[in-house]
Amino acid sequence: MASSYTANNGIEKPGVGEQEGAWGGTLNTNFDIIDRVLSGVGSISLSGTTHTLTTTDGTLTDGMYRVLLFTGALGANNTVTISPNDQDKLYFVVNNKFLRWHWSGLIIKKNFRSFEKNAGSR
C-alpha cells in the first residue's frame, strides 16, 4: 500500500509495511508540518501583483503557517491566492505594511488585522 496524505495539511501517512526501518525522515517532516500548522508564524514577502500560498503534500510550505505576516515593498495591489483551494484552513493575518492587498476578492487595508478561513470549494 502506497503512502497517502491528509486532506488539509499534506501530512504523509505511510502505507502498511512501507518505509520499514527508514521512516525517521518522514516522521520528522510530519512533526514539523504539525508544528507549523498549529502555531507557525510565517513572514511572507510579497512583491509584484500576485502571491500564491501553496500547501504541498509532505513538504514544508508557506500555505501551512497559522499566522501570516506580510512584508515586502509593493508598488501596486497584490492578490494572494490559496493553492490548492479545496483545503480547509484557518489563517490569522497581520497586514502592517501595505496600503492594501486582495484575499479571495476581499480588499484588506493597511493596519488591518484579521483571521480568515478558507472553506475550500466543497
Tens digits of residue pLDDT in 45-76? 888 888 888 999 999 999 999 988 888 877 77
What is the pLDDT confidence band of residue 31, given thresholds at 50, 70 and 90?
Answer: very high
Three-state DSSP string of the chain: CCCEECCCCCCEECCCCCCCCCCHHHHHHHHHHHHHHHHCEEEEECCCCEEEEECCCCCCCHHHCCEEEEECCCCCCCEEEEECCCCCEEEEEEECCCCEEEECCEEEECCEEEEEEECCCC
Whole-angstrom Cα distance, residue 122 to residue 53? 19
Provide the residue range defining the domain that includes 18.
Answer: 4-118
pLDDT of residue 78: 79
Determine contact, residues 10/41, Cβ cutoff 8 Å.
no
pTM: 0.73
Whole-angstrom Cα distance, residue 81 to residue 32? 23
Domain count, the chain: 1
**Which one has a higher pLDDT value, 106 or 81?**
81
Lowest mean pLDDT among 23-27, 85-89, 118-122: 118-122
Q: Which are the contacts of 77, defined by CB distance < 8 A and separation ≥ 6? A: 49, 99, 100, 101, 102, 107
pLDDT of residue 34: 95
Mean pLDDT, the chain, whole residue set: 79
Q: Is the pLDDT of residue 42 over 90?
A: yes
pLDDT of residue 56: 94
